[in-house]
């Protein structure tokens, strides 16, 4: 199998077969993101993907789930994704799901018919970098979409029957804005109905624009206490009927997970217990995170 650049995959895809279909991320502009700065975006040639499928099939012919690497694989034209899915199904007869990272812009570029065709080929569980439901934050991090646009495109995904995982980022609004961000993001989540909510915490890496903003005083990171209070407010304000909530990202100080609404009280209590364990003095600073 040939992998170029660093390979990223969501933690829930730990057991999936990873098939690289693009190098890097087509957007590559989010001001906090250092993941693909060292590579130029390009699609992987189909011949290489085919060779990788053959090799992977020789190792694990019964793979049921395949994750397409890298940053926003849904950017590939539908025809290319259909060709890849066709080759996957030809070899991996037990494969049920083909998942990948997807941006709101990637979804917007696909027609309803194309989304339905991809769903029919097993494309599902798209990991979407929602990050926040607040336009001010989205603009500041150069996410490449507005909340209204994201809402429209996620509604189209829902309509096509494609499940999505909403990736959210605690602390991304900066100091003194955690509560407002939690309210707006929960409202957004309530309107867009993801199948899964996945929550990480902002890490500020050297070399990113956000790091430069922080050094110049244009961005002041939230304290750890504010981040944990933001997560509590977010959980509290989510009103979906049945949604899995994972706050177990390695960047999170307190790891929690559960199903909403039934585990709401339990998860908030777990964060409160974490706050008590760390204590107000420790949590009054902004923690430095250097790895994902």
- Which residues contribute to the site for ligand SF4 (CB under 6 A)? 25, 27-30, 33, 35-36, 71-72, 103, 129
From CA 28, how far away is CA 18, in angstroms rounded? 21
Shortest separation between residue 167's beta carbon and ligand SF4, angstroms: 9
The CA dihedral of 144, 104, 129, 40, to the nearest 10 degrees, is -60
Nearer to ligand SF4, 92 or 246 (CB): 246
Pinpoint the alpha helices (H) of 160-279: 178-192, 209-215, 224-237, 264-278
Shortest separation between residue 108's beta carbon and ligand SF4, angstroms: 14
Nearer to ligand SF4, 251 or 282 (CB): 251
* Residue 94: C-alpha distances to residues 56, 89, 98 (Å): 14, 8, 12
Nearer to ligand SF4, 71 or 274 (CB): 71
Shortest separation between residue 10's beta carbon and ligand SF4, angstroms: 12
Nearer to ligand SF4, 5 or 274 (CB): 5
Shortest separation between residue 128's beta carbon and ligand SF4, angstroms: 10
Nearer to ligand SF4, 35 or 81 (CB): 35
* Residue 238: C-alpha distances to residues 38, 118, 172, 184, 235 (Å): 37, 30, 18, 10, 5
Both tokens assigned to 171: 């602390």
- 288's CB contacts (< 8 A; 6+ apart) are 204
Shortest separation between residue 282's beta carbon and ligand SF4, angstroms: 29
Question: Strands 97-102 and 65-69: what pairing?
Answer: parallel
Q: Taking Cα atoms as reference points, which of 167, 170, 290 lies closest to residue 228?
A: 170
What are the φ/ψ torsions at residue 215 (nearest 5 degrees)?
A: -60, -35
- For residues 160 and 119, the answer to whether their CB atoms sit within 8 Å is yes
Shortest separation between residue 253's beta carbon and ligand SF4, angstroms: 21
Shortest separation between residue 34's beta carbon and ligand SF4, angstroms: 8
Nearer to ligand SF4, 30 or 162 (CB): 30
Helix, strand, coil percentages (3-state) for the chain, rounded to 5, are 40, 15, 40
Sole residue written with tokens 């066709």 = 86
- For residues 260 and 240, the answer to whether their CB atoms sit within 8 Å is yes
Shortest separation between residue 211's beta carbon and ligand SF4, angstroms: 14
Nearer to ligand SF4, 170 or 254 (CB): 170
Nearer to ligand SF4, 11 or 61 (CB): 11
């Amino acid at each position: 199998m040939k992998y170029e650049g660093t390979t990223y995959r969501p933690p829930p895809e730990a057991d999936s077969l990873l098939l690289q279909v693009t190098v890097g991320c087509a957007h590559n502009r989010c001001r906090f993101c250092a993941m693909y700065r060292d590579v130029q975006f390009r699609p992987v040639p189909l011949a290489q993907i085919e060779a990788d499928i053959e090799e992977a099939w020789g190792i694990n012919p019964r793979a049921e789930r395949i994750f397409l690497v890298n940053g926003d694989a849904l950017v590939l034209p539908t025809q290319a994704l259909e060709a890849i899915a066709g080759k996957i199904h030809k070899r991996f007869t037990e494969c049920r799901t083909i998942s990948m990272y997807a941006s709101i812009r990637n979804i917007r570029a696909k027609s309803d018919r194309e989304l339905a065709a991809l769903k029919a080929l097993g494309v599902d569980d798209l990991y979407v970098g929602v990050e926040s439901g607040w336009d001010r934050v989205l603009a500041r991090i150069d996410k490449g979409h507005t909340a209204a646009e994201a809402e429209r495109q996620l509604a189209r995904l829902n309509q096509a029957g494609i499940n999505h995982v909403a990736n959210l980022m605690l602390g991304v609004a900066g100091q003194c804005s955690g509560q407002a961000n939690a309210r707006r993001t929960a409202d957004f989540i309530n309107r867009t109905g993801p199948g899964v909510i996945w929550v990480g915490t902002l890490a500020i890496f050297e070399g990113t624009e956000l790091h430069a903003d922080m050094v110049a005083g244009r961005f002041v990171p939230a304290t750890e206490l504010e981040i944990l209070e933001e997560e509590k407010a977010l959980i509290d304000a989510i009103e979906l009927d049945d949604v899995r909530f994972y706050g177990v990202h390695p960047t999170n100080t307190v790891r929690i997970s559960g199903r909403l609404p039934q585990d709401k009280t339990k998860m908030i209590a777990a964060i409160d217990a974490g706050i008590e364990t760390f204590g107000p003095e420790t949590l009054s600073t902004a923690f430095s995170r250097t790895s994902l």
